[in-house]
A and B are shown apart, each in its own frame.
Chain A
Amino acid sequence: MAEQVAEALGSATTMTMLVVLAATLLVFALLKVWLSGSKGNTVLLVGPCDAGKTTLLHQLCDGSTHLGSVASMVPTEADGQLASEKAGGATSARPVQLVDIPGHPRVRGQVERYAGRAAGVVFVVDSVDFMPRKTEAAEQLFEVLSAPALARRRVPLLLACNKQDMGSKAHTVDFIRKRLEKELDQMRSTRGALGDVGGGSGGGKAAQLGLPGEPFTFESHARSRGVRVTTATLSAVDKGGVAEVEAFIRKSVPA
């Protein structure tokens, strides 16, 4: 009995089987490397309701706003090249996956689902209707900045102030940045007291924002946590208004 087993083990068939097994494993490993390599091209579009995320998505992907948009209910994923690059004929550019995540409080927890493969986050804010809804925006920005999956991987964030085409009705980028910093600073102390952030998060401990001793600024956050936060003007309805966002996307997802 034992000899038979030993013989079977030593036989040529077994060797072939082993080789086949090893080859399969190798293929799987390669596949995984390849897949994980292509994973890092996702850019998330987040922000409060009515900030213009869906419009921005269309402008970036198709170079047109089509008929307009209504409140989104589910995230939209769009793969492919940026519209401007397609028009420019730069075929070698690496495709980007854009994910538009609805701003409604009930569904914006979905950021978590995509956080793992995000290479960049564009936080879109409405510059015109900013003041009455600044707390809402700040709250959401807080959730994004403290999302463990994003903070751990130091995913850069772009604060894009949309609707800058509205002229004097729109607040300036600087004003919005300062206001949000102030709100976030306050939220840091109150949110900390409440333990786990938001109802929906559960993927580990929430990340800290900025340095504990000093007032919160995006600059200090970048210094202490390594998460780059930049600002940009945006006018999602114009073709030329999305240039700064495009630059950010290209920086996050190198061609």
Chain B
Amino acid sequence: MLDHVCVFTKGGSLLWALSFVALKGDPINTLIRACLLEDRAAQSSFEYIIPSGGTYALKWSLNNGLGLVFVAVYQKALKLLYVDELLERLNRAFSTRYSPGCFEYPEFDATFQRLLKDCEQKAEAARRPSAPQLAPHQPNAQQRRAPGASSGSGEESSEEGDSDGTAFAPVTTNGKPAGSSADQSSDDAEAEGGAGAAANGAEFVPDLHKLKKLGKRAGPGGKTTRQHADRAEETKKKAAAPAKKGKQARVWGNIGGAAKEDGPLDFTDGDASQATITTADLNQRSLIDVEEDVSYDDEGTDEDEAGAEAAAATKKGGLLSSFVRTLGVNVVGTQALTRSDIEPALATLKKKLMERNVAEEIADKVTESVATSVEGRKLASFTRVSTAVQQAVEEALTRILTPKRSIDILREVKEAQAKGRPYSIVFVGVNGVGKSTNLAKVAYWLLQNGIKVMIAACDTFRSGAVEQLKTHCGRLQVPLYERGYEKDPAKVAFEAAKAAQRAGIDVLLVDTAGRMQDNEPLMRALSNLINLNQPDLVLFVGEALVGNDAVDQLTKFNQRLADLCPDPSQRHLIDGIVLTKFDTIDDKVGAALSMVYTSGAPIMFVGCGQTYVDLKKLNVKSVVKSLLK
């Protein structure tokens, strides 16, 4: 049944493990790296594909107060219904025995065996009567009754098929639960619901989601006072923020003032018939090389916050309200945070993220993941819940945006150079996001670093695309490989790679036609191009203006690239992102988060203007700051 159960600390020390079957591969570490560290902990299970065949399902439970993680591994083919409950109970049982200095708990084996037997029997008992009926709701109710019998909570008595709705009611109407019992029962209900959904197939899932949402929406209702206070502070902060921010100075202006006429990409004023094309001045420094002198004073923000807080307090009506607020701070100061404590802070955070143009789905997932990592944590005294949550979100966002893969393209180019083959980069994306423009900017930056560049015009679709690249190539004095229109782009790219190899080129930049993510024939052509040429880097070009569509675009591009690949071992997904039109969005930098979270790929370049030099690297700290401002 179960293959492996283990308990470890977040610091990485294994505390207790029990193997029923020797594990194949390394599912635990994969879970940590691919899920828990990626802020995807909000999902309920993780699948690990065993290299030798088969799939493991992993479920986990976190104890944030003690920093413990409980993981159960089992064969995915076996649909074990009791794992969630088992983990919860394991969590509770182990937490009481845990002492920070101790790393061995041999006596826990017996306790676990008892828990396991208990859970198995209960699951067995719950399944047997409902098995012949196969009604979607029935086994769920049975499931719910089971834990109720053992824990003896009051509101577990409802036995109707759609009892889930009523079971949520006490939590939602009471506002703040009296103790941990009500909260725990809601947890149980969720966990059980999850198990039930897993067993019954997809039909139950939307129902559960609806319920969760309902619960969430109604949850904070009881504590309007605190929420109001939060919101007041929020607006206050927002008012204080713009004064702080200030626009970053455009550095290039004073470097190449004389070359200004060469700057804009606009050539309409020049005489078209004239044979000589003005060439771009390579002496200007691309902005990516210019170091920014942005200082991040973390202490400053704290003071600002305190100031804003004080101002808010005085404005709201003096001593009394501030006194009430202090009370709000202290009440939760000593005990572990419950879900309902953090709910209002999470709601404001989610709103804030969405105001910053983060896709709703992503904002949801990030806040959910933060919730799982904060719940149960103990606050230091005189810390406000919102501060703790804010800090957790900041950490999570920094983690998400920090590149997992090296973004040092120059080093990779040099490596390829040493091997004597051209390094190829393919630019993909939807229409009109600035693929060609940013390709030219990248070419300019590479040229400045003494790298020989060639551009391949594989947009054989849109009229004028080749001519546009011709102009860029003329200005940058870079060879262009083009075969006109109506050709198969995959073949053009292939021939271009050969030509680049012959000419001793270091980097081949491949421009492709813009395509909507739903356009099947064009996506097929793109997948063909990538599979045939196996480029070193596939860059997705996306504009920073995009909102909810960012998720859809990246998901579909990645999915099509994966699905349409004939050989799964050779499949090549999006390696990096070029974020364009970054200068047009002010502080609505949410698209960066949406794209990185969706694809897991880092942002390699940021296009921030109209000229060749306007290419930058993403500064994670400043983006996180703008997101939470």
Contact = CB atoms under 8 A, between A and B. Distances in A.
Contact of B8 (A70, A202, A203): A70
Contacts of A72: 10-12
A100 B13 CA distance: 11
Nearest to B29: A71
Interface residues of A, number: 42
B223 interface: no
A14 interface: no
A202 B17 CA distance: 40
B553 to A, nearest CB: 23
A171 interface: no
A190 B8 CA distance: 39
A58 B16 CA distance: 16
Contacts of B32: 70-71, 73
Contacts of A109: 398, 402
Interface in B24-42: 28-29, 32-33, 36-38
Main secondary structure of the interface of A (DSSP, over half): loop
A41 to B, nearest CB: 19
B13 A66 contact: yes
- B33, B290, B405, B407 pick with most chain A CB within 10 angstroms: B33
Nearest to A108: B402
A68 B19 CA distance: 14
Interface stretch (B142-150, B521-529, B613-621): B613-621
A202 B449 CA distance: 24
Contacts of A139: 406, 408
A186 interface: yes
- B10, B17, B402 pick with most chain A CB within 10 angstroms: B402
Interface in B293-320: 294, 296
A39 interface: no
Contacts of B415: 186
B14 interface: yes
A142 to B, nearest CB: 9
Given A73-B12, A74-B67, A193 B402 contact: no
B271 interface: no
A186 B12 contact: no
B250 interface: no
Interface string B480-519: 0000000000000000000000000000000000000000
A179 to B, nearest CB: 14
A199 B576 CA distance: 14
A104 B37 contact: yes
A132 B68 CA distance: 32
A191 B620 contact: no
Interface in B200-238: none
B406 A135 contact: yes
A194 B289 contact: yes
A89 B67 CA distance: 32
Contact of B13 (A58, A189, A203): A58
Contact of A102 (B12, B291, B403, B617): B12
Contact of A190 (B11, B401, B410): B410
B79 interface: no
Given A187-B411, A198-B402, 13 more contacts: A66-B14, A67-B104, A70-B14, A71-B28, A71-B29, A73-B37, A109-B402, A186-B414, A186-B415, A193-B288, A195-B290, A195-B617, A199-B401
